[in-house]
Amino acid sequence: MRVAAVQMVSGQTLANNLITAARLIAEAASGGAQLVVLPENFALFGQGNLAPLAQLESAGDGQLLPFLAEQASLHRIWLGGGTIPLALGVDGRAAEANKAFASCCLFGPKGELVGRYDKIHLFDAGVNDAVGAYRESAQFTPGTLPCCVVTPWARLGLSVCYDLRFPEYFRQLSALGAQVLLVPSAFVYTTGKAHWEVLLRARAIENQCYVIAANQGGQHSDNRHTWGQSMIINPWGEIIAQQAEGEGVVVADLNFAEQLALRNKMPVLTHRRF
């Protein structure tokens, strides 16, 4: 299976972001990618209240869900749609007042929605950068359910960005049979420099999974800077493709026979005691 992670430097203009996303998806598809993953907040980055947009999307009147469906169908690919704001949770709950769910939607090659994950762990933290403190819970309602999707090649486990710091979530995906972990992200520069690679490689190693991590990567405004370094990692924890900063696409081939051989030779998932 050939896969691609798309790296963007999204801004606050929806139309411009969608044009860029379409161009990079086309580049990935032309390179033979059968699965393409967009970064978190690919359509809007640094926007204020997302609730009105989320209401439009959930009512079927928005641009983002149709855009993702169209791109998947146009290129006949599986498309991990980064995150988009939705007003209704996958579990049927409405988002809290003036908030949205940060939803990662997976589309199949006919443009059909085949899986959805609402981000569970929200980034409320102080960071030594120009912003100083982040509070995602002011904009988003947390999800409650893990998501693992069956494809013709492998089972895909969906996650988003800050989830990386919670290994128990990835254990749940592993228990659901995940072989590939999708991690659309918008890691800030400071925390990304310190922890991005080590967290991704750890999640790959401990779950013996491939990891596709599509990050935002560049200067979005005077005070918003993301780390980039989108990468694809194999179950041994080796980085097999990587993009530094700026827009770009990284492509790699996943070998599930090699993954199975590793899991049989070193069956750590069957050795768990807790």
Q: CA torsion, points 194, 254, 152, 29, in degrees to nearest 10? A: 80
Collapsed DSSP state (helix, strand, coil) of residue 76: coil
**Tens digit of pLDDT at every position of the chain (274 positions):** 999 999 999 999 999 999 999 999 999 999 999 999 999 999 999 878 899 999 999 999 999 999 999 999 999 999 999 999 999 999 999 999 999 999 999 999 999 999 999 999 999 999 999 999 999 999 999 999 999 999 999 999 999 999 999 999 999 999 999 999 999 999 999 999 999 999 999 999 999 999 999 999 999 998 999 999 999 999 999 999 999 999 999 999 999 999 999 999 999 999 999 8
Q: Which of 92, 80, 96 is nearest to 21 (CA)?
A: 80
Instruction: Return the pLDDT at 144.
Output: 97
Query: Tens digit of pLDDT for each residue in 33-88?
Result: 999 999 999 999 987 889 999 999 999 999 999 999 999 999 999 999 999 999 99
Query: Tens digit of pLDDT for each residue in 102-116?
Result: 999 999 999 999 999
- Catalytic choice (161, 209, 245, 247): 161
User: For the chain, what is the largest distance between any 2 Cα atoms, rounded to a whole number of angstroms?
Assistant: 51
- Catalytic choice (57, 104, 105, 119): 119
Instruction: Return the pLDDT at 48.
Output: 80
Active-site residue, 40 included: yes
Contacts of 19 (CB under 8 A, 6+ apart): none
Domains of the chain: 2-266 (3.60.110.10)
Collapsed DSSP state (helix, strand, coil) of residue 92: coil
Q: Which of 229, 119, 101, 253 is nearest to 180 (CA)?
A: 253
Instruction: Return the pLDDT at 2.
Output: 98
Beta bridge partners of 36: 4, 79
Active-site residue, 119 included: yes
CB 42 within 8 A of CB 78: no
Beta bridge partners of 88: 94
Active-site residue, 238 included: no
By DSSP bridging, strand 78-80 and strand 101-107 are antiparallel
Contacts of 114 (CB under 8 A, 6+ apart): 78, 106, 107, 108, 149
